[in-house]
C-alpha cells in the first residue's frame, strides 16, 4: 500500500472491484461490513510496517554538513497492508474502512525519517485515530557521524517534529521507542544525552516504553 495524503477515492467506484459486488457490500449491515473490512485489511494480523521503497537509500539522512528538511524527500512510503483496492472502491467504503485501518493497526517503523514523513503526509484526521506506534531506530547521523552541526540539524528537522506530533495524537495509547545505537556505532550510547531525551517529556501516553 502506498501511503500519501492523496489516498482517497477519486470517483464513486473503482475498476478493482466490480460494481455489482460493491453494491452488494454496501447493502449489508454496518456490523457485517466492518467485519469484512477488518478481515480484508489485516488478514489475521494487525501489524502495519511502514517503510521507504528499496530504491530509496539514506542519502537524505546523511547529508553533510547539515540535514536537508525532511519534506524534501521525494520517495513514496509503502506498507505491508495491501488494502487500497477495497478502500478506494467507493466513497462510502472509504469513509467506513479508513477509520478501522488507522485505529486497529499497530504501526511499526524502523526509520525516524520515514516516521516523520508518515506524520507529515497522512491527514491528521487519520493519524488522530492511531493507538499504537513502535519505532525501532538506529540512526546513521546520531550514532555514526556525531558532528555537532549535523546532530543539531537532525534534532531540528526530524526528532523534535516527530516528538511534537506524537504528543499531539489524541488516541495514541501505546508507544514504544527502541533506540539501538549498537547497530550503528560502538560509541553510540554516549550520544544519548538530554538533547535527545528532553523532547520525549512532552509525550503523554498511557503505555510508553523507551529502550536505549
pLDDT tens, position by position, 17-61: 555 556 788 889 999 999 988 888 887 678 999 988 765 554 444
Between the alpha carbon of residue 142 and those of residues 84, 111, 115, 156, 184, the distances in Å are 35, 12, 16, 12, 9
Domain extents for the chain? 10-211
Beta bridge partners of 79: 50
Beta bridge partners of 210: 177
Per-residue pLDDT of 111-170, as tens digits, reads 888 999 999 999 999 999 999 999 988 765 555 555 666 677 778 888 899 999 999 999
Q: Whole-prediction pTM value? A: 0.77
Amino acid at each position: 500500500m502506498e501511503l500519501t495524503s492523496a489516498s482517497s477515492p477519486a470517483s464513486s467506484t473503482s475498476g478493482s472491484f466490480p460494481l455489482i459486488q460493491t453494491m452488494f457490500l454496501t447493502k449489508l449491515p454496518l456490523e457485517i461490513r466492518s467485519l469484512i473490512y477488518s478481515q480484508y485489511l489485516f488478514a489475521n494480523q494487525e501489524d502495519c510496517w511502514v517503510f521507504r521503497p528499496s530504491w530509496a537509500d539514506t542519502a537524505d539522512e546523511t547529508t553533510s554538513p547539515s540535514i536537508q528538511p525532511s519534506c524534501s524527500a521525494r520517495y513514496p512510503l509503502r506498507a505491508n497492508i495491501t488494502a487500497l483496492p477495497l478502500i478506494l472502491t467507493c466513497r462510502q467504503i472509504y469513509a467506513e474502512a479508513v477509520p478501522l485501518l488507522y485505529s486497529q493497526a499497530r504501526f511499526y517503523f524502523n526509520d525516524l525519517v520515514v516516521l516523520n514523513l508518515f506524520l507529515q503526509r497522512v491527514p491528521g484526521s487519520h493519524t488522530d485515530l492511531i493507538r499504537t506506534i513502535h519505532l525501532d531506530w538506529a540512526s546513521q547521523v546520531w550514532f555514526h557521524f556525531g558532528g555537532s552541526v549535523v546532530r543539531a540539524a537532525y534534532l531540528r528537522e526530524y526528532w523534535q517534529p516527530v516528538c511534537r506530533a506524537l504528543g499531539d495524537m489524541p488516541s495514541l495509547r501505546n508507544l514504544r521507542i527502541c533506540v539501538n545505537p549498537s547497530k550503528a556505532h560502538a560509541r553510540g550510547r554516549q550520544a544519548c544525552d538530554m538533547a535527545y531525551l528532553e523532547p520525549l517529556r512532552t509525550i503523554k501516553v498511557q503505555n510508553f516504553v523507551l529502550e536505549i
